Amino acid sequence: VSSGWVGGAAVTNTEWFTCYNSSTTVFSGSANSTWESLVKTGDMVTLQWGYNGQTGGHIFTISSGAGTSAPSGGNTQKWRFLVIKDRKIKEGVQVWYKKAFDEWIGPRYLSSTPPPGVTREQYLKQHAAVQYLTDHFADAPVWIVACLAEETNNRGAGASIYPAVQNMVLACRAVGLGTTLTNRHMFFQKEVDQALGLPEGVHAYAILPIGYPMGKFGPVKRAALKDVVYADKWGQAYAG
């Protein structure tokens, strides 16, 4: 979900949730409704920031139920989920988030060819949403920062955290909230980890800003399956 937000006052508090497996049911309903969440969650919507007690309950359910129900390498469960409500902390992170946009992400968007299944007009709309997200990143009343307690920060480590992140994205969708997986902060990993107050050996792999959708969730725009699914040999189209 590419995101933009208006309104909403952040509340101050920062809490560590070391999450364990939970019996909480995050999804209910038919397999079709779950599939609908999968294929519609990635579409662009604009989010409006708001916060209330019910949302706070959802945040804990999302982190403790959905996040920790995901697999991790060797079932080591080294994930940690930092729930950020303190605006000062968010503003400290946003400085680096915006710097990454200004120096790399923004110029790349404007000079890149639209991805498969997306028109130039849609791509520019997406770029505008990314710009809005950048400018209003700290306005989200709640962030969930997905962290790993790992001494080494390597490319394989993501396999133990991103399944949990995707579970949380889908859980947000299931309860009517919108979010997006952001990891742009990793351009300035050291500075952001410090701004978040993370201890040595803990790294932030994703930040999920959470808000209410102003528009409707819709089907995602992607390349045709025939262009990305191969059979036995690279480039050989899968015939079914």
Query: What would the pLDDT profile of 77-95 be if each residue is shown by its tens digit?
Result: 999 999 999 999 999 999 9
Specify the pTM. 0.76
pLDDT computed for residue 155 by the predictor: 66
Burial of residue 227 (number of CB atoms within 10 Å: 0-12, 13-18, 19+): exposed
Which residues of the chain, if any, have pLDDT below 50? 1-32, 34-35, 37-54
The pLDDT, as a whole number, for residue 55 is: 54
Phi-psi region of 129 (alpha: psi -120 to 50; beta: other; left: phi over 0): alpha
Please tell me the predicted confidence (pLDDT) of residue 188. Answer: 96
